[in-house]
């Protein structure tokens, strides 16, 4: 459902786009970067939007050699999607990738200028964070936070995702 929602949000806000790759826990798409903020403002099942830097197998990180980061310090944050790549030492992989990137940019783990994320899924995907999705507004709309409510209720995050799956554009009317 997450990938389907992301595709519909990109389509609604950017129009034309191309799916480069998708798999467990990620979608890599090419679209007009001016659509990033409108997409981030409406998407509900995604945590971060970023600029894809490379994808690689843990045994061959040579594709990292081609990455040129903007000026400034950086840090790499790692996450295994649903416990994948259990046999890979994520901290060792971060050190190896960081060593290659630190030739041009200094490493600063606290408050870096550039935050890189490494998702360990079917492959390792490295991206530079562009937007962190603020999901707190949806949490404040949960049924328990309302003065009057029906015990049968859909979590606001899923309700937003269902609306996004319609492909509705900003200002459209949807009949429930």
Whether residue 117 sits in one domain with residue 58: yes
Whether residue 118 sits in one domain with residue 163: no
**Between residues 174 and 4, which one has the greater pLDDT?**
4
Q: Tell me how far CA of residue 162 lies from CA of 48, 49, 76, in angstroms.
A: 19, 20, 33
pLDDT in tens, 78-124: 999 998 899 999 999 999 999 999 998 999 999 999 999 999 999 99
| Mean pLDDT to the nearest integer, 123-128 | 96
CATH of the domain at 65: 3.30.2130.30
Into how many domains does the chain fold? 2
Q: How far apart are CA 138 and CA 160, in angstroms?
A: 9
Lowest-pLDDT range, 21-30, 48-57, 66-75, 147-156?
147-156
- Quick check: 93 and 125 in contact, CB under 8 A? no
Contacts of 40 (CB under 8 A, 6+ apart): 49, 131, 133
Q: How far apart are CA 56 and CA 62, in angstroms?
A: 8
Q: Which 8-state DSSP code applies to residue 176?
A: -
Flag whether the pTM goes above 0.85: no
Whether residue 74 sits in one domain with residue 20: no
Whether residue 138 sits in one domain with residue 126: no
Does position 57 have pLDDT exceeding 80, yes or no?
yes
Q: What range does the domain containing 16 cover?
A: 1-47+133-175
To the nearest 10°, the Cα dihedral for 49, 111, 121, 18? 20
């Amino acid at each position: 459902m997450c990938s389907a929602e992301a595709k519909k949000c990109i389509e609604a806000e950017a129009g034309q786009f191309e799916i480069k790759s998708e798999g467990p826990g990620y979608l890599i798409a090419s679209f007009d970067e001016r659509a990033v903020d409108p997409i981030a403002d409406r998407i509900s099942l995604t945590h971060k939007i970023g600029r894809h830097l490379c994808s690689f197998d843990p045994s061959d990180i040579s594709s990292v050699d081609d990455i040129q980061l903007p000026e400034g310090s950086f840090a790499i944050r790692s996450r295994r999607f649903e416990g994948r790549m259990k046999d890979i030492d994520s901290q060792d992989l971060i050190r190896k990738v960081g060593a290659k990137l630190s030739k041009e940019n200094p490493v600063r783990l606290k408050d870096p200028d550039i935050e890189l994320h490494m998702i360990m899924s079917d492959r390792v995907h490295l991206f530079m964070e562009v937007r962190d999705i603020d999901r707190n507004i949806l949490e404040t709309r949960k049924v328990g936070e309302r003065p009057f409510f029906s015990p049968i209720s859909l979590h606001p995050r899923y309700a937003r995702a269902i609306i996004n799956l319609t492909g509705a554009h900003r200002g459209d009317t949807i009949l429930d």
